[in-house]
Amino acid sequence: MSDCRSEDRLLTLAEALAAALDSIQPLREVETTPLLDAYGRVLAADVSARLDVPPHDNSAMDGFALYQVDLRLDPPTRLPVVGQALAGHPCSGIALRGAAVRITTGAMLPDGPDVVVMQEQCLIAPDESWIELEPKIAARLKLGENIRRRGEDVQAGTVLLPRGLRLRPQDVALAAGQGMAMLDVVRQPRVAVASTGDELCEPGGMLPSGGIYESNRYALIGLLRRLGCQVTDLGILRDDRAVVLPVLREAAARHDVLLTSGGVSVGTADLVKDVIAELGRIEFWRLAVKPGKPVTFGRIGACLALGLPGNPVSVMVAFLMFARPLLLKLMGMAPAEPLRLRVTADFAFRRKPGRREWLRARLRQDPERGPLATIYHTNSSGALSSLVWAEGLVELAEACAGVAPGDAVDYLPFSGLGLYDE
Ligand code: AMP
Ligand code: MG
C-alpha cells in the first residue's frame, strides 16, 4: 500500500496525528535505574509513598519546645530548660509540664510540648538554665506554632509520582525523600537520524561549488536528545537508492524510529518516500500544513519511518508539531497539547486558507494592549535564522484567511514545545 488517502485531499494535522498516534503502542520494556541517572526518564509505574514525610513531628525553627498552657501573660513566663533535642539526636528524657526543651530545626519534637518558640523571641539565661518570654510574645504563640507535623508533606500510601511523568529534579528528590534508591523507567526510544542530499557537506569539511553545509541533523539530534531518546547518527546519505535503501533497512531492524530529512518533496528525488514504500509501507505522505507539507509517515517492519522535509525551518516545525507527539506517546507519556496563548497581532499577513500555518514569532509586552506578537521579516522555510530569532510560533488555523494588526492570534511559546532555555 502506498500514497493512500493523500492524492485527492491533504490530511489535516489533527487527522494525521490521530491516525498516527492510534497506530503507536508505548514502549513496554522497563529499566530500573539509580536516582542520579533518572533525570529526564519517564516513570514506568506510579510511585506511592511508603513513609509519612516528615516521619515525626519536628521543629521548624531553632528555639524551645514547651506547653502552651504554661504561657503566662502576666508576669512574663519563666521556664527552666530541662533538656535538648537536636536534629538526629532526639531528647532522651521526658519533657515535663512547666519546663522547656532546647530544640533545633528538624529535631524530633519530644512527647508533650505543643509549641516551639523561636530563640530570637526569648530572653535566655547566660548558662541556658532558663528562658523568659515577654507577655506580648506569649500571647501570639498558637498551639502547634513552629511545629511541622508528621505526614504534613506526604502521607504513606498516596501516589506521589504518576506513571508517564518525565522526571524532573524535584521528582527525583521526592523519591529520595522516601528512601528509594532506584526507579522503574521506560526504555528510551532508539531513533536513527539521517539527512539526504547530494549537496550536503559535513561541517568542518571543504565546501565544493554548489554544496551547502548540512544543518538538519544538528537540529534533529538536539531535539531528540532533549526528549530523552537514544540517537544513532546515520550521517549524510547521497541521493542514490543504492545508498539509502540498505542503510534504512539495516537501521529499521535495530531502531524504534527512523527520522530522515530531505528527499520527500515532489519533483525532486523522492527517494526516501520510495525507499520506505519499498521496504515497508507508507501510511500518508502529505499534510495540510505550512511549512512541513511533505511529511511522510510509514513503517518498515516494527520501526516507525518518518520522512521530514529538507528545508531547515520545515524540518524543525514538522518535528515539533508532528514527530514530537508521536515520540512522546512511544515514550509512555500522556499526549499534551502545546500551550496556546491568545495574544494580539502586531503584524499583517496575507494567505490562502486551507493549510495550518506557523509563523516564526516573538512577543513584546505593550503597557496598554498586553502581549503583542510580531513575526520575522521573511516567511521563507529555508531561513534558519528566523528560528534563532523567534521565541515561539503564531499558529493560523486552516480556515484563517489572513491576519490584520489588532487581530487575536494563537501564540505557541517554544517553552511549551519542549524548547526552553536552560
Ligand atoms: P529536499 O526536500 O531534499 O528537496 O530539500 C529541500 C531544501 O532543503 C533544499 O534546498 C535542500 O538543499 C535543503 N536541505 C535539505 N536537507 C538539508 C540539510 N540536512 N541541511 C540543510 N539544508 C537542507
Ligand atoms: Mg534533497
What is the pLDDT averaged over residues 338-352?
A: 97
What is the CA(261)–ligand 1 centre distance, in A?
7
Pairwise CA distance, residues 288 & 294, whole Å: 9
Instruction: Read off the pLDDT band of 335 (50, 70, 90).
Output: confident
Sign of the torsion angle spanned by Cα atoms 273, 261, 327, 358 = negative
Q: Strand, coil or helix: what is 304?
A: strand
CA distances from 339 to 42, 174, 399 (A): 21, 26, 20
- Return the percentage of the chain with pLDDT > 90, whole number: 92
Q: Are the CB atoms for 70 and 115 separated by under 8 Å?
A: no
The residue type found at 164 is G
What is the pLDDT averaged over residues 249-261?
A: 98
Task: Check pocket membership of 197 for ligand 1, CB cut-off 6 A.
Answer: yes
CA distances from 41 to 45, 227, 319, 365, 417 (A): 12, 9, 20, 36, 17
Instruction: Read off the pLDDT band of 4 (50, 70, 90).
Output: very low
Residue with cell 514547651: 66
Q: Strand, coil or helix: what is 22?
A: helix
Instruction: Read off the pLDDT band of 94 (50, 70, 90).
Output: confident
What is the CA(189)–ligand 2 centre distance, in A?
27
Residue nearest to atom 6 of ligand 1 (CA): 310
Nearest one of 414, 303, 421 to 363, comparing CA atoms: 414
Task: Check pocket membership of 266 for ligand 1, CB cut-off 6 A.
Answer: no
Atom of ligand 1 nearest to the CA of 311: 8
What is the CA(420)–ligand 2 centre distance, in A?
30
What is the pLDDT averaged over residues 395-400?
A: 98
Q: Are the CB atoms for 291 and 317 separated by under 8 Å?
A: yes
Would the pLDDT of 312 be above 90? yes
Q: Which of 273, 311, 315, 317 to mutate to test the pocket of ligand 1 (most atoms within 8 A of CB)?
A: 311
What is the CA(262)–ligand 2 centre distance, in A?
5
Instruction: Read off the pLDDT band of 268 (50, 70, 90).
Output: low
* pLDDT tens-digit map of 174-204: 999 999 999 999 999 999 999 999 999 999 9
Task: Check pocket membership of 265 for ligand 1, CB cut-off 6 A.
Answer: yes
- The phi and psi torsions of 362 (rounded to 5 degrees) equal -140, 155
